Amino acid sequence: MSADLSVPLVSVVIPHYGGRDILNKCLQSLEKSTYPNLEIILVNNASPDDSVEMVNKSFPRVKIVESTENRGFSGGCNLGAKEAKGEYLLLLNNDTLHEAGWIELLVSILDTNPNIASVQPKIKNVDSPEYFDYAGACGGYMDWLCFPFARGRIFSMVEKDEQQYETAEKIFWASGTAFLTRSSVYQKLNGLDETLFAHMEEIDYHWKSQLAGFEVWVEPQSVIYHHGGATLPKSSPQKTYLNHRNSLILLLTNKSWEDTITAVFPRMILEFTAFVSELLKLNIFHGFAILRAWIWVIIHPAYLLSRRKFLAEHAGFSPCLLFSESIVLAFFLRGKKTFNELNYHPV
């Protein structure tokens, strides 16, 4: 099928580390997408299986970029973006399935508003398609202590999709499961921070996008399905480590000094509470993962200062759409289990 050059070229970048079957299904689904001007780039993060051989044989249109090591989601996306020719980048997890016209709807959002840097689709769960998916649901937000949540998911509470979030809206972060972004913005912000490796790297990118003067949106009419936790399950202590470490990195570097200092003490109270909770539940390895996160942050001041310097030079520390309350207290103490119950209306 020849490309339609009257529409922007979209470069789909898929970082991949293992999982032959999920990748095969993802690419089969992507082939059914009706957007007429795509290039597909698979970044092989030194996969230990024969998945790349399968792609060469079954999907000859896919361009394969080889990495000699597993660079994580961040590094994989950055490596693929260097090879991309599209005006727009579509960063995509390898464990996703897609409705046929989902890409056109995302492109339309960016085409109609040059102030929007990125847009994500509605993300539902493959195994329970009547529910949102944990990873991004219907658009992400962040509270002032740097705990993320989403329309359709707060902590472990995932909502059933009853068309309660059907409007395209401004959000704080678009999920790394799938988001379309402008190549120009991606280059301006040096892509995803590879030190973050995986988890919250997309939140960091979209926070910086806002600080640089752009908006982030969700388009719920565009729908995909995600195998939640196919790469790194929730039970993994490494996931706990990355989530806590990366959240603290964002807290310490993406805010003004005044806002950072204000947030550090209450955040560390919640960190210590999470640490003690894991120990009381005998989740020793998860407790140790939280401790590892604190230690990493303490011994890397040069990295933290370099991030603050980059933001000061390329974006700044202007206000953005942080939820002014603590989502931890709203959820666990006030019983606010759904996004609509928060009565949060970002402007």
Mean pLDDT over residues 182-197, rounded? 96
Q: What is the DSSP letter of 229?
A: T
CATH number of 10-226: 3.90.550.10
Burial 309-324 (b: 16+ CB within 10 A, else e): eebeeebebeebbbbe
How many residues does the structure list for the chain? 347
Residue 205 has pLDDT above 70, yes or no: yes
Q: What is the pLDDT of residue 64?
A: 97
Report the predicted TM-score, pTM, of the whole model to 2 decimal places. 0.95
Whole-number mean pLDDT of the chain?
94
Please work out, in degrees rounded to the nearest 5, the angle formed at the alpha carbon of residue 64 by the alpha carbons of 62 and 65: 145
Q: What is the pLDDT of residue 178?
A: 98
Domain regions of the chain by residue span: 10-226, 237-321
Mean pLDDT over residues 134-150, rounded? 96
- Answer yes or no: are the C-beta atoms of 211 and 317 closer than 8 Å: yes
Residue 230 has pLDDT above 60, yes or no: no
42-to-20, 65, 167 alpha-carbon distances in Å? 13, 6, 32
Q: What is the pLDDT of residues 10-47, one digit of tens each?
A: 999 999 998 999 999 999 999 999 999 999 999 999 99
Q: What is the pLDDT of residues 54-79, one digit of tens each?
A: 999 999 999 999 999 999 999 999 99
Mean pLDDT over residues 97-101, rounded? 97
Residue 269 has pLDDT above 80, yes or no: yes
Q: What is the pLDDT of residue 22?
A: 95
